[in-house]
Amino acid sequence: MRRAFQTFLPLFGVIVIAISLTHLAIGPRAVIGSVPVNPTMAGEDRFFAGLLLCYGIALLSCARDVQRKRGYVNLLAAVFFVGGIGRSPASRGPTGRARAGAAAADGRHRQAGLRAG
């Protein structure tokens, strides 16, 4: 398990860095199926891409000596987890219920025998 983790951590760091550099270079167009956005949203995307770049660099820094930097690895994992929890309300409307468009798309995917993405 330790060997797998020591392989996973630098791989994840490189993937995170690649994604962030793509967003820094081309902005929100890096998202497949994205729509045109205003300059404020494009700037926000690049701002968060810079933070993601730092996160990836921190992952690579910890990957060299996982045992000694275990506390930092745990903190980075917690930050990633909390960020994921923070995204969950985005799939819901202001009422807290699933958005109608998302529910309808899910139904169409099920009818077609596909998984909702």
pLDDT at position 117 over 50: no
Cα dist from 45 to 1, 61, 88, 92, 98, whole Å: 35, 24, 18, 21, 24
DSSP reduced 3-state for 66: coil
Distance CA 107, CA 117 (A): 12
- DSSP state letters, 4-65: HHHHHHHHHHHHHHHHHHHHHHHGGGGSTT-----HHHHHHHHHHHHHHHHHHHHHHHHHTT
pTM of the model: 0.71
Question: Do the beta carbons of residue 17 and residue 53 sit within 8 Å?
Answer: yes
pLDDT at position 12 over 90: yes
- For 56-108, how does the pLDDT look when each residue is reduced to its tens digit (9 = 90+)? 999 999 988 888 998 999 999 999 999 889 888 877 766 556 555 555 555 54
Does 64 or 26 have the greater pLDDT score? Answer: 26
pLDDT at position 25 over 90: yes
Mean pLDDT score of the chain: 83
